[in-house]
């Protein structure tokens, strides 16, 4: 692969047009994507001609979605570490103050569309198949993957909707989806086989364009009863060959059930949905692929965006979070060590600035990790408040691409990629 492969990957808009053209030529699958969605995408790309009459209708589920609860998550979710949100569990960011660079499994957020399946690693296998392979594809057992050269990646997994609740609480805007604060992120040391090795061993052809990993968890049924099938999202082959791994270890232990056991994808820097858990099969296609997770979801919709939405989201944005409870009470005339973390899906973190007076004055935080791409940095600053009463503490990061967290994020209806500085309330007593 050329070393500048990342540049190619970034241009999802062009890639998307290529996908759509191939689809029009009858060479792409769009199972589970509604006709309305494809029309919208085609119109946007100026390609809305000769629309095929036969698109598969989306299936209707016979029953309603089971009621939301954090049931379905296997590990314990003590209240001091987690806030349950439907089928998901958010890490309480303040609890990370007691952890190191990597988030222990005990504290790592869980985002499940349905519930955690319990798979037997002894019988699990990964099927790699599709038109982008020469030959009939092949299966890999866990032992097969473990025999391949192992690589370790220290990186975060972060939900695209992390910070979503601040669109409403800070900007007064309506958004749909799980009302995360800033705890839909964790960083771990992931170890596994290179997806590139697995694809090449499976007979990857030069004309392969998309890779579609699919989870073994239950089919996902939306609140209105539409069955979208199993969780899956196309990944451009360039990214798949770059730095993606099939991880079987997390922080030196076998991958735990809630985080994708026995094997999940880790797609560094990209939004969490790319890192498919409990992966069971991967379709490699010489035709572009669609799923609801790159058409309806994980694009930006709203007044600032074209009607068909933005191109599919790929990289994460830039954020900072403070390791203090919301509305913490801190005694005056005492020195406090404020700690937190900042991260970016683009460059590495260059600096973090802190304000303890609602943005009037700022100072540089001290960084405690060497900033690395696709990972977060811990930082600290000391603060000796003298005036009692409510105030707002702010952390604002800048990355090496020159991107600085803004004071407001452009609205999008699904509340993705919130990157504004969060106004963290603190009361000095």
Ligand X SMILES: Nc1nc2c(c(=O)[nH]1)N[C@H]1C(S)=C(S)[C@@H](COP(=O)(O)O)O[C@H]1N2
Sites of contact with ligand X (CB under 6 A): 108-113, 157, 159, 215, 217, 231, 259, 272-273, 275-278
Cβ-based nearer residue to ligand X, 396 or 414: 414
Two structure tokens written together for 90: 């958010």
Report the nearest approach of ligand X to the CB of residue 60 (Å): 21
What Rg value do the Cα atoms of the chain yield, rounded?
Answer: 22
Q: Select from ligand X, Mo ion, none the partner in contact with residue 397, using the beta carbon and a kind-dependent cut-off of 5 to 8 Å.
A: none
Closest residue to ligand X, judged by C-beta, is 215
Beta-bridged to residue 173, according to DSSP, are: none
Return d(Cα 388, Cα 390) in angstroms, integer: 7
Q: Select from ligand X, Mo ion, none the partner in contact with residue 231, using the beta carbon and a kind-dependent cut-off of 5 to 8 Å.
A: ligand X
Residue 167 has phi, psi (to 5 degrees) of -60, -40
Q: Which of 84, 87, 77, 90 is nearest to 115 (CA)?
A: 87
Report the nearest approach of ligand X to the CB of residue 332 (Å): 38
Cβ-based nearer residue to ligand X, 159 or 212: 159
Two structure tokens written together for 150: 């192992």
Helix (H, G, I), strand (E, B) or coil at 367: strand
Return d(Cα 427, Cα 393) in angstroms, integer: 10
Helices (H), 281-367: 292-295
Q: Select from ligand X, Mo ion, none the partner in contact with residue 276, using the beta carbon and a kind-dependent cut-off of 5 to 8 Å.
A: ligand X
Q: Select from Mo ion, ligand X, none the partner in contact with residue 350, using the beta carbon and a kind-dependent cut-off of 5 to 8 Å.
A: none
Report the nearest approach of ligand X to the CB of residue 403 (Å): 22
The footprint of Mo ion on residues 44-73 (CB under 5 A) is: none
Report the nearest approach of ligand X to the CB of residue 231 (Å): 4
Q: Select from ligand X, Mo ion, none the partner in contact with residue 275, using the beta carbon and a kind-dependent cut-off of 5 to 8 Å.
A: ligand X
Which residue spans within 86-135 are E strands per DSSP?
88-91, 125-129
Q: Select from Mo ion, ligand X, none the partner in contact with residue 217, using the beta carbon and a kind-dependent cut-off of 5 to 8 Å.
A: ligand X
393, 336 Cβ separation under 8 angstroms = no
Specify whether the backbone of 258 is left (phi greater than 0), alpha (psi in -120 to 50) or beta.
alpha
If binding is defined by CB under 5 A, does position 345 make contact with Mo ion? no
Report the nearest approach of Mo ion to the CB of residue 142 (Å): 25
Tell me how far CA of residue 58 lies from CA of 31, 43, 66, 213, 302, in angstroms: 8, 21, 19, 20, 24
Beta-bridged to residue 139, according to DSSP, are: 127
Cβ-based nearer residue to ligand X, 24 or 265: 265
Cβ-based nearer residue to ligand X, 345 or 385: 345
Report the nearest approach of Mo ion to the CB of residue 111 (Å): 5
Report the nearest approach of ligand X to the CB of residue 33 (Å): 18
The footprint of Mo ion on residues 270-289 (CB under 5 A) is: 272-273
Q: Select from ligand X, Mo ion, none the partner in contact with residue 20, using the beta carbon and a kind-dependent cut-off of 5 to 8 Å.
A: none
Helix (H, G, I), strand (E, B) or coil at 137: coil
Cβ-based nearer residue to ligand X, 20 or 282: 282
181, 168 Cβ separation under 8 angstroms = no
Residue of the chain from 111, 214, 232, 264 that contacts Mo ion (CB under 5 A): 111
Cβ-based nearer residue to ligand X, 20 or 289: 289
Q: Under rule CB under 5 A, how many of the chain's residues touch Mo ion?
A: 4
The footprint of Mo ion on residues 134-163 (CB under 5 A) is: 159
- The DSSP line for 143-169 is HHHHHSPEEEEEEEEE-TTTTTHHHHH
Two structure tokens written together for 100: 């190191």
**What does the binding site for Mo ion look like in residue numbers (CB under 5 A)?**
111, 159, 272-273
């Amino acid at each position: 692969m050329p070393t500048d492969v990342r540049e190619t990957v970034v241009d999802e808009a062009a890639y998307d047009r290529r996908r759509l053209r191939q689809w029009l030529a009858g060479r792409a699958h769009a199972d589970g994507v509604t006709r309305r969605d494809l029309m919208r995408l085609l119109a946007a790309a100026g390609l809305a001609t000769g629309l095929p009459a036969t698109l598969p209708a989306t299936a209707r589920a016979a029953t309603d979605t089971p009621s939301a609860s954090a049931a379905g998550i296997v590990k314990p979710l003590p209240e001091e570490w987690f806030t349950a949100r439907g089928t998901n569990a958010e890490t309480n960011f303040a609890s990370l103050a007691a952890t190191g660079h990597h988030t222990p499994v005990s504290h790592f957020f869980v985002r499940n569309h349905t519930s955690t399946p319990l798979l037997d690693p002894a019988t699990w296998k990964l099927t790699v198949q599709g038109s982008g392979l020469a030959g009939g594809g092949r299966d890999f057992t866990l032992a097969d993957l473990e025999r391949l050269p192992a690589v370790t990646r220290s990186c975060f997994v972060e939900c695209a909707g992390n910070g979503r609740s601040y669109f409403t609480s800070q900007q007064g805007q309506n958004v749909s989806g799980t009302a995360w604060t800033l705890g839909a992120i964790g960083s771990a040391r992931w170890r596994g086989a290179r997806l590139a090795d697995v694809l090449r061993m499976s007979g990857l052809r030069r004309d392969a364009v998309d890779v579609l990993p699919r989870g073994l968890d239950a089919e996902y049924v939306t609140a209105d009863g539409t069955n979208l099938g199993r969780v899956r999202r196309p990944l451009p082959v360039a990214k798949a060959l770059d730095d993606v791994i099939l991880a079987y270890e997390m922080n030196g232990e076998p991958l735990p059930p809630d985080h994708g056991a026995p094997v999940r994808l880790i797609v560094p820097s990209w939004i969490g949905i790319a890192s498919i858990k409990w992966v069971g099969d991967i379709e490699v296609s010489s035709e572009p692929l669609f799923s609801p997770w790159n058409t309806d979801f994980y694009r930006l919709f709203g007044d600032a965006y074209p009607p068909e939405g933005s191109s599919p989201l790929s990289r994460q944005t830039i954020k900072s979070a403070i390791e203090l409870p919301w509305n913490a009470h801190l005694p005056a005339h005492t020195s406090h060590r404020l700690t937190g973390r900042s991260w970016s899906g683009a460059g590495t973190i260059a600096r973090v600035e802190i304000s303890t007076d609602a943005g009037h004055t700022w100072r540089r935080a001290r960084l405690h990790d060497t900033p690395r791409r696709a990972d977060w940095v811990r930082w600290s600053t000391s603060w000796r408040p003298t005036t009692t009463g409510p105030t707002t503490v702010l952390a604002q990061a800048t990355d090496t691409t020159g991107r600085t967290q803004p004071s407001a994020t452009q609205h999008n209806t699904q509340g993705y990629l919130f990157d504004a500085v969060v106004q963290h309330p603190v009361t000095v007593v």
